[in-house]
Amino acid sequence: MMPSSLDLLRAEDLRVVLDSEAGLVTALDGIRLAIDRGETFALVGESGCGKSMTALALMRLLPENGRIAEGSVSLDGEDLLALPEAKMRERRGGRIGIIFQDPSTSLNPVLRVGDQIVETIRTHTPLRGQAAVQKAIEWLRLVGIPEPERRIGSYPFQLSGGQKQRVMIAIALAAEPDLLIADEPTTALDVTIQAQILELLRSLQERLGMGMLLITHDLGVVKQMAHRVALMYAGQIVEVAQAEEFFLHPRHPYAQQLFQALPEAVRRDEPLATIRGTVPPLTTLFTGCRFAERCDHVMERCAHTLPPTIETSPSHLVRCLLYAPGAPGILPAGLVAEPRALPQGRTAAPESKAAAATLLEVRDLKVYFPIRAGLLRRVRGHVKAVDGVSFTVAEGRTLALVGESGCGKTTTGKALLQLLRGQAEIRGEMRLLGKPLNRLEGADLHAARREIQIIFQDPFASLDPRMRVLDILEEGMIALRPEFDAQARRARLDLLLDQVGLRQDVMARYPHEFSGGQRQRIAIARALAVGPRLIVCDEPTSALDVSVQAQILNLLKTLQGDLGVAFLFITHNIGVVEYLADDVAVMQAGKIVEYGPADQVLYSSYHEYTKTLLGAVPRIKTSRQHQTGALVIP
């Protein structure tokens, strides 16, 4: 990477180590990157590869057990590692802004969001008093917060996850920095708000000449935003290229396997490609290629030869022995260059699934939350979270429920599970196997809970950290399947763990000892333990890497084929919908506005909202089949 007079930020041979009980962790090993003014440089890779650690090292915000062992970081030629902490604080927030991945832990819970934005404005700009407050309101409006004059006085706990993320973006941009580090800036946002935020970042970049380090696992966002892309694996950058070149001709086996794992419509009749194994522990003293154990093209020399960084074409660098002089051959390029067309005449689902009997029937479901005010907390009105939705789910089929945050998707799922009784006024009919769910009580309701379970969005939050996996999996069986004795429960759990791809020894461990994908597998096993006919999946893959997402989607599809379980799949990931869903219902403001077979809704939508939603999805490639016949609900 040759020096450039345009470089805004440059990191050379950056090596970061962390002290741990397992030994010295080399979190970053020889990172080299340069970001120009006005350039978006994307850093992609699986969780644990070092992306966020790179951002923290550049900002000098490493944890107490971490330190920069080697290397340099410069901003406009100024050595950031040599600055005293007082000077570095001026650079943070002023010249370098950062959007952290988790706004819930990054925002101060005891300060109003307006105070937190104003603090940045007062610290790093000349604005004071009411002028600073008005600027904060302007930033809230720019990032898409409704009623910013009122929301500026809200505390973080009063905002949704997507709204908190937008507040974080406002704080990072409030001082109009020269460099913005965006660590998964759109993860908690639905696609329409994501599109607005990305457009805002683009326009600010053009106006300010701002450089941007974009850290994300969403390759669609990278394709849309990035000028250059760096792929990280196990603490190293293994490929760097111009964005167009990276997507047309990915060179590293890791990059190619990531693309093959992406869900899309043309792959729905086949399992997604997965990357076997996991990222190696970074306490390892590597003597060969770090990806060798997971590589489909591994050679004998990969185990004992450190791969050099090789320039395969101008501005395209790859760290792989397959491209070294004298190598037996290079990998084929252009794996994602041309989209495949959907097979002509293919229906949304096989005929056997289409003819399945109705399992769940929802008619005119309404969920109204009371608004209470005054000393006596009398009801002054209602929030119509769900306002008259109707749909059916057949046995062994998947209905995807899509829409923006706050449209009522999760509330619909919770209402089906009867989790909102006493909190909201619920009207309409919900019939599971012909039984009226909303009118069941006592033993009848208890029995119905065996037939419908839920997989929550965040497995870490939904698994009790004080319980071992065995107790977590047995809890539902003890409550809902009393006919199983301890021996029968253990036999069933042994079978379940095998079905979800986990070893038997996990039962003695706690949730914090697992990766995100493993925890989600445990959550799936817990839902399956009582033998349900229907599972509500609430964004079960949104927090997962592409490769882990592929494993979970393959698992869900296999379980559906083997067990005949039906899914109500709540998601904003259209790629997942294209791959998994048989039917799609589009929600807006508590109502279903379009409903029908997946191919018809996704590729021949009639409703303007559906078109807007689909148009906002960042795509790597397009492979749509145009059909007609989706039902538009006025």
What is the SS3 string spanning 414-474?
HHHCCCCECCEEEEEEEEECCEEHHHCCHHHHHHHCCCEEEECCCHHHHCCCCCCHHHHHH
Q: Which of 621, 574, 624 is nearest to 248 (CA)?
A: 621
Highest mean pLDDT among 246-250, 405-409, 620-624: 246-250
DSSP code, position 81? G
Q: What are 545-573's pLDDT values in tens digits? A: 788 888 889 988 988 998 899 999 998 88
Q: Is the pLDDT of residue 332 over 70?
A: no
14, 31 contact by CB (below 8 A): yes
Q: Is the pLDDT of residue 118 over 60?
A: yes
**Mean pLDDT of the residues in the chain:** 87
Q: What are 435-451's pLDDT values in tens digits? A: 999 899 998 998 888 99
Residue 411 and residue 416: Cα distance in Å, rounded? 9
Residue 314 and residue 245: Cα distance in Å, rounded? 10
User: Is domain 7-226 given the CATH code 3.40.50.300 in the classification?
Assistant: yes
Supply the pLDDT for residue 266.
78
Q: Which residues pair with 383 in a beta bridge?
A: 369
User: What is the CATH superfamily name and number for domain 351-451+532-632?
Assistant: P-loop containing nucleotide triphosphate hydrolases (3.40.50.300)
pTM, 2 dp: 0.81
Cβ-in-10-Å burial (0-12, 13-18, 19+) of 196 comes to middle
Tokens linked to 572 = 């904003």
272, 554 contact by CB (below 8 A): yes
Confidence band for 629, pLDDT divided at 50, 70 and 90: very low
Confidence band for 6, pLDDT divided at 50, 70 and 90: low
- DSSP code per residue over 481-534: -TT--HHHHHHHHHHHHHHTT--GGGGGS-GGGS-HHHHHHHHHHHHHTT--SE
Q: In a 3-state reduction of DSSP, which class is residue 189?
A: coil
Q: Is the pLDDT of residue 344 over 80?
A: no
Q: Find tokens 């000028």 and name the residue.
A: 227
Rounded to an integer, the average pLDDT of 66-86 is 95
Same topology for domains 7-226 and 351-451+532-632, yes or no? yes
Rounded to an integer, the average pLDDT of 525-548 is 86
Rounded to an integer, the average pLDDT of 273-294 is 89
Tokens linked to 345 = 């005449």
Q: In a 3-state reduction of DSSP, which class is residue 192?
A: helix
- Phi then psi for residue 163, to 5 deg, are -70, -40
The domain locations on the chain are 7-226, 256-323, 351-451+532-632
Supply the pLDDT for residue 328.
62
* Helix-helix angle 113-124:129-142, to 10 degrees: 120
Classify the C-alpha dihedral 169-172-178-184 as positive or negative. negative
Supply the pLDDT for residue 621.
63
